[in-house]
Every structure is written in structure tokens, then in C-alpha cells.
Amino acid sequence: MRFLLFILYLSFFGCTKPDHKDLLLHKLTTKISEYDGYLIDRPNGLHRMQGYTQTDSSFGIIAVHGYYPSDWPTKGFEWVLPMKDLAQLERPVWWFRHDWFNCPDSSIAYLKSQIDTLIHHNHHLDSLWVIGHSLGGLIVSNFAELWDNEFPVTVHAIAAPLKGTSRQLDECQSKEKNLYLINKSVRYIQWRTDYKQDGAFKHLEKDPQDVILKNGKYILLPKTWDESRLGHNLSIQWVIDQLH
């Protein structure tokens, strides 16, 4: 009996993933076989990346991830190389961890409150980039509508289903949106994939990225990059390359 209890103990605690308290550049492995969920297995909120040279702390960057199915084995891995490339800009970089099962309105309000707090406690900051992918792109786009602070923010939404997502819970508010009125204090760019090349969208009848943008613009990504299909996750890396 004691042996059985011991096995159950190991099974339960051995499969429990730790909440990482650090975010260090050298711990971001680009080998998918060695990736252990380092970016995702942490508490919700903003996490500042450390372990690299930061020559200018006045301009910061925030990365916002998307949705992950429960059985997705490598949550966050698509951001590993982009995070490494962002570190090469030698600016402070934050990772925004959120609960992708929440209603978008909740995540949008949470992001806004986290950015308000970040600016309040970091008076040396004079501007921010906020970069969101997939569901994260939807979150940052709605944030761009709400941001009425004079503090300069540039928002990049990558491969984002801005019309809405079918994964929203029944209790969530509006499920479809066709117009975004970006606040004039925000510089906004939507980066659209060719949705028939995008594994997350190609089964849909219409492109979920196709919305009207007021006070913003969109850029259409090419279908291929380095002889590879430029799909949903690779789109992050392509955009980061353009921003370098």
C-alpha cells in the first residue's frame, strides 16, 4: 500500500510543471526536443527578460502570446527565436503571460492594467512596442482602441483573428467584430498572413483577419519565406525580422 501511495505521489508531483520565477535569455532553447514550456509555465502578468545587454532602457517591448489547445506540447515555443532576436535590439523586453481560456475582454483589461503599472513604476520609459500574435493580436488590437494615454505606444498585431474567435465562451461578449477604431495616440499595424497559407485559418470560409481599420494600417505577408510556407507561427519571426 505504501509503495502504491509513493508511486501516486511521484506521478502527481513529477508531472506538475513548475512556475518559473526567472526569464533568462540563455534558458530559451531553440531545440524543440529540449523545450520544457519555459515561456508559458509561469504566473500571469508581465515578466522582464534578463541576461543580455540593454543599452537603452527608455524604449520597451512587450510580447503577447496567443491561444494554446490543452494538448499542445510546446506552448510558447514559437516565440523563442523571436524573443532572442528582440534581445538583440538591446532594449528591455517583457513577456505577457495571460490565461487564454479567459474572455478576451478580461485579458484586454488585464493587459491595460499591467501596462499602466509598468509605466507608473518605470519613469525612464518614454515609449513601448506591444506585439501580439494570434489571440494575442486580438487582445493588443482591442487594447489599441482603449489606450487614451498620451504615453506613446506602437501596437503590432500578427496573424490575429480580429473578427473574433469561435473559441470564446458563451458568456463572453460580442463574438464578431468588423471595425476597429484605433485611438489616435497609438501607432497601429496589423500584419496579415495569406489566410489560405495559415494553418489556423485555412479551413475557414472567410479571412478572420479582414476587418476595417480606422487610424491604423495593415501589411500582407508573403505566402512563402526562404522557400518555406509562411504560416501562422512562422509569421512572428518574419515580422520581427522586419522590425530589426
Q: Mean pLDDT throughout 185-199?
A: 96
Render pLDDT for 72-118 as a digit per residue (tens, 0 to 9): 999 999 999 999 999 999 999 999 999 999 999 999 999 999 999 99
Dihedral angle, C-alpha 102, 106, 112, 115, nearest 10 °: -40
The DSSP result for 67-91, as a single string, is ---TT-TTTTGGGHHHHHHHHTTTS
Q: What are the structural domains, with CATH classification, of the chain?
A: 37-165+174-243 (3.40.50.1820)
Q: Residue 168: what pLDDT?
A: 56
Residue 226: φ, ψ to 5°: 50, 45
Q: Residue 167: what pLDDT?
A: 59
Banded model confidence at residue 9, pLDDT cuts 50, 70, 90? very low
Render pLDDT for 26-69 as a digit per residue (tens, 0 to 9): 999 999 999 999 999 999 999 999 999 999 999 999 999 999 99
Cell output for 103: 474572455
